[in-house]
């Protein structure tokens, strides 16, 4: 009798767990279907900006132009550079469908050497986050020395003109 009660209890417990999992999956599916996807879409003119070789202390500003190809306003929620030397500036206002916008990026060119930095742009675009890249080389500014003057040393013989 104990074996029968134990077996029935085990079957009832497993059945309850199985139905609980199915109910949870159905509820999750219903939630996913209720979340609408965004109709905004961002189309960048370029994804990479190559500075080439620029002098140390030179102009490190570049622009990335984009268009909202979607059917609802595009809202950029965050622009983040990969380090403190790369500072992006994104539009704060929504970009209406069919309209253009600009993301400005300023790189600190007082750091000589190679450049390979990214800017992550978060928005409500159906394509999700995008990553823009800047690259190039900052050339070290040459050290300018005054041409040394060689005055006649004191006590040195002086030519007599005569």
How far apart (Å, rounded) are the C-alpha atoms in residues 138 and 116? 11
pLDDT 10s digits, 29-74 = 444 444 457 889 999 999 999 999 999 999 999 999 999 999 999 9
Mean pLDDT of 66-92: 94
Which pLDDT belongs to residue 22? 46
Task: Please report the pLDDT score of residue 133 as a whole number.
Answer: 97
* CATH, domain range 42-139: 2.60.40.10
Q: Any idea where the domains of the chain sit in the sequence?
A: 42-139
Three-state SS annotation for 24-86: HHHHHHHHHHHCCCCCCCEEECCCEEEEEEEECCCCCEEEEEEEECCCCCECEEEEEECCCCE
């Amino acid at each position: 009798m104990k074996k029968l009660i134990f077996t029935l209890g085990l079957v009832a417990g497993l059945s309850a767990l199985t139905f609980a999992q199915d109910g949870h999956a159905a509820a999750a599916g219903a939630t996913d279907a209720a979340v609408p996807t965004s109709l905004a879409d961002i189309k960048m003119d370029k994804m990479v900006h190559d500075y080439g070789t620029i002098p140390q202390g030179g102009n490190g500003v570049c622009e990335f132009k984009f268009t909202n190809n979607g059917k609802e306003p595009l809202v950029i929620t965050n622009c983040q550079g990969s380090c403190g030397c790369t500072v992006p500036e994104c539009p704060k206002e929504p970009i209406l469908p069919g309209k253009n916008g600009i993301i400005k990026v300023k790189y600190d060119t007082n750091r000589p050497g190679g450049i390979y930095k990214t800017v992550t742009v978060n928005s409500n675009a159906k394509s999700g986050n995008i990553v823009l890249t800047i690259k190039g080389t900052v050339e070290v500014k040459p050290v300018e020395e005054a041409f040394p003057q060689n005055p006649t040393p004191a006590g040195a013989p002086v030519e007599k003109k005569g």
